[in-house]
Each structure stands twice: as C-alpha cells, then as structure tokens.
Amino acid sequence: MEKRHLKGSTFLFPGKVNVGYFQKEEDVWLVDTGLDDEAGRKIARYLEYEKKRLRCIVGTHSNADHCGGNAFLKKRTGCLIAATPLEAAVMENTFMEPLLLWTAFPFAEISNRFLQAKPSSVDILIRNPGIFDESGLEAVPLPGHFLEMIGVRTPDDVFFVADALFSETLLAKYHIMFVLDVQAALETLEFIEQQEAEWFVPSHAPAVENIRPLAEANRKSLMRVSQAVLDCCSEPVGKDEIVRRLGTLFGISMSITEFLLYSAAISAHLTWLRKKALIAPFIEDGLLLWRRSS
C-alpha cells in the first residue's frame, strides 16, 4: 500500500477514496477507511507491518465508501471511532443510507456495499467544531453533501475536506453530484476557498495546495444542475421526469443505485429552488409536480 507524505506527521493513502493518516509517536489516526473489509484489511496489514497502533478512525461522514472499512478495522485493532452525532447514527445503522434514498426500508437491488456499509459503533461523538481528543486533529463542519459531514484539519495544517468537492474528472463523468442541501454546499465551498492550508485533500480528488480552482468548478457544476432543474419546471414536471431529462441532457446512463443518487440530488435542488420561491409544488392526477412560480 502506497503512503504519501504531505507534511510533518500527516500522510495520505491515495485511492478512489483518499484515506488520511496522522501519526503521533506509535499511534495513528485515520480520516475515513474506504469502501469495505478489503480496504480495511489493506490498512490493517500496513499498520501491522509498520508496527503502528490504530488509535482512532475519524469518520467525515457515513457514506459507505468512506466508512466501509470501519467494522473490519475496529474488530481487528480495537480502535476508537469518532464522528458527528447524525453521521454516527448512520454508521451504527447503515441501512439508513439506502433508506434515506428510497424513503423506506431498502429492497435487494439497493442493499449493496456501495450504499450500505457494515455497521460500526462510534465511541466519540464530535458535537462541536475544533479539537476533539489528544491528537490535536480539528473537526471542521462542512455541511451540504450529507447529514452532518466534517472535514479534518491536522496540526500540520493539512485540511481533509471530505466530499465538499469532487475532482474535475468526476464532475465531467457524473454531472449531478450527490448533495442534500444545495445552499449549505455552496456556503461550504465559499468557506473552503477562504481557508489557508498547506494542503487540501478532497476524498475524491488529488491533494492540492490551491483549492480555489476546484471549488469554482464545483460551484459551477451545482449551479448548472440547479439551472437545468429550473428549466425543466417551465412546464409542470415530476421529479422522475427531471431525472430522465437531466440524464439525457448530460448524456449519463444509470444503474438503479445511480438513479436513486441522482434523484436525491435533484430533490435537494428542488428544495433549494422552492426556498428561493422560484418554483412551487402541486398535485395533479395523483402526481407531485413542480412548476415555475414566476
């Protein structure tokens, strides 16, 4: 397993999901763990080889690709897990991630490891921003993408910014990025742009010293989707139809899982447009439809 040095005691396991690594003497703190047991096993082997002790996993949020290695690592090492209360609730009850997307208990096709990690119990509830234990790691609220996501700033001034932003490659591939609160996501981008750090490490993009261009690309992506949703509402339209039209517009094909992820993101855009009084919902012939209100 490749470990990349960033600064001081802060490292990174680069991958589909970047895993942060902070070292204090023989103890290690991780930021997220990756998708599944296999991701956890690779990290465990590395730590055993290096004779390091895993003290704590700091979970940025409870999406399966970030906390999927938690259960394995906790069982193997007895480490602690730290997360915010709402993210902890999902890490401990991981059926809630597909439940959130489907709004009922999940059916077979969405009970997969991409949406539902193995549950893991959380030991440290991060209720406030700032330092939460003796590591000196700082929790930084990054609302918008999920329920109560945090970033983690290390004493070396490396800022792990989780899924507050995605790489240009992912923006170009998926177009409709997962978000639960568009306004909060935009405010989080603005907040990140104002931060000074030696390194910024998004979970799904390479580490960079200057985060501003990527923040701008992510802002544009959110605004483009919002505008496309608003355009759909020029005439009465239901959410599934908006998903279909945006899929065509952006040229994206989708699996059942992806459909639900896109659909949830579009719900967030509808909520935001409704909040700005640009659209309004109504029921017609048993369908929940949206149309422009001005």
Contact footprint for Zn ion (CB under 5 A): 63, 65, 163
CB of 176 to Zn ion, least distance (A): 15
Cβ contacts of 151 within 8 Å, gap of 6 or more: 60, 139, 140, 141, 142, 159, 160, 161, 162, 164, 192
d(CA 141, CA 119): 23
Give the pair of three-digit tokens for residue 99: 């439940």
81 — phi, psi (to 5°)?
-125, 135
Looking at the Cβ atoms of 163 and 290, the one nearer to Zn ion is 163
Looking at the Cβ atoms of 82 and 117, the one nearer to Zn ion is 117
253 — phi, psi (to 5°)?
-95, 155
Per-residue CA distances from 87 to 67, 132, 153 (Å): 10, 16, 18
CB of 170 to Zn ion, least distance (A): 10
Looking at the Cβ atoms of 63 and 188, the one nearer to Zn ion is 63
Residue whose Cβ sits closest to Zn ion = 163
CB of 95 to Zn ion, least distance (A): 18
Instruction: Return the bridge partners of 285, or none.
Output: none
d(CA 64, CA 59): 11
Looking at the Cβ atoms of 114 and 191, the one nearer to Zn ion is 114
Amino acid letter for position 31: V
Cα first-last separation, the chain? 56
Looking at the Cβ atoms of 9 and 69, the one nearer to Zn ion is 69
CB of 40 to Zn ion, least distance (A): 16
CB of 286 to Zn ion, least distance (A): 36
Looking at the Cβ atoms of 117 and 225, the one nearer to Zn ion is 117
CB of 157 to Zn ion, least distance (A): 23
Cβ contacts of 156 within 8 Å, gap of 6 or more: 6, 7, 8, 9, 10, 198
Looking at the Cβ atoms of 55 and 145, the one nearer to Zn ion is 145
d(CA 122, CA 208): 30
Q: Is 49 helix (H, G, I), strand (E, B) or coil?
A: helix
